[in-house]
Amino acid sequence: MFGAGDAHARVMLVGEQPGVQEDRQGRPFVGPAGKLLDLLDRAFAEAGIDPGEAYVTNAVKHFEFTQAEPRRRRIHKAPTLRETTACGPWLAAELALVEMELVVVLGATAGKALLGSSFRVTQVRGTVLEEEIHGRRERLVPTVHPSSVLRADDRQAAYDGFLSDPNAAARLLA
Ligand code: URA
């Protein structure tokens, strides 16, 4: 599944992989995690960036799942490094096509796909990184994956942190 959005977007959001809803509808972030992503729009809107302008995609292009029995509910399964690596050329093509100023890295899978297997989201979240990726200099801001906010015990604290990481990035673009 390809990403969605404008090829002239100023910001690219990179998530993990499509979920059940995304797989059905053929668009990234249309399920529960996407609702949270909508909240990021506010941060970008305050920086004068039209939220509709963001290009949204995933590191892994297919829905990876386990299923107890045929026709039972498909349950999200974290992609392996091998699967993430296999999808790398598609993500690289999107990075080359979209002329964004900033990539928001949503969680560990996206981070490892873009920045290598030593990536640790807890160490770099909210910081602005400048890295050479597939031969291009990119500016990136990592934050946690929106699903981790939905799972957190202290949801408010997780939510505040999730919003404040890209907020720093949005100010940078203002
Ligand atoms: N939906 C997506 O498209 N990507 C994620 O990482 C999570 C949910």
Q: What is the pLDDT of residue 43?
A: 65
Q: What is the pLDDT of residue 36?
A: 75
Q: Which residues lie across from 129 on neighbouring strands?
A: 140
Residues 65, 69, 71, 72, CA torsion sign = negative
Which CATH superfamily is 4-173 part of?
Uracil-DNA glycosylase-like domain (3.40.470.10)
Q: Which residues lie across from 65 on neighbouring strands?
A: 76
With a cut of 70, which residues of the chain have pLDDT below it? 39, 42-43, 46-48, 51, 174
Half-sphere exposure (Cβ direction) of 141: Cα atoms closer than 13 Å: 22
- In this structure, are residues 56 and 13 in contact, taking their beta carbons and an 8 Å threshold? yes
State which of 2, 12, 22, 151 you would mutate to test the pocket of ligand 1, scoring each by most atoms of that ligand within 8 A of its C-beta.
22
Atom of ligand 1 nearest to the CA of 110: 6
| Cα–Cα distance measured from residue 35 to residue 54, given in angstroms and rounded to the nearest whole number | 15
Question: For residue 153, what is the DSSP state?
Answer: S
- For the chain, the structural domain boundaries read 4-173
Query: Which of 87, 85, 8, 9 is CA-nearest to residue 41?
Result: 9
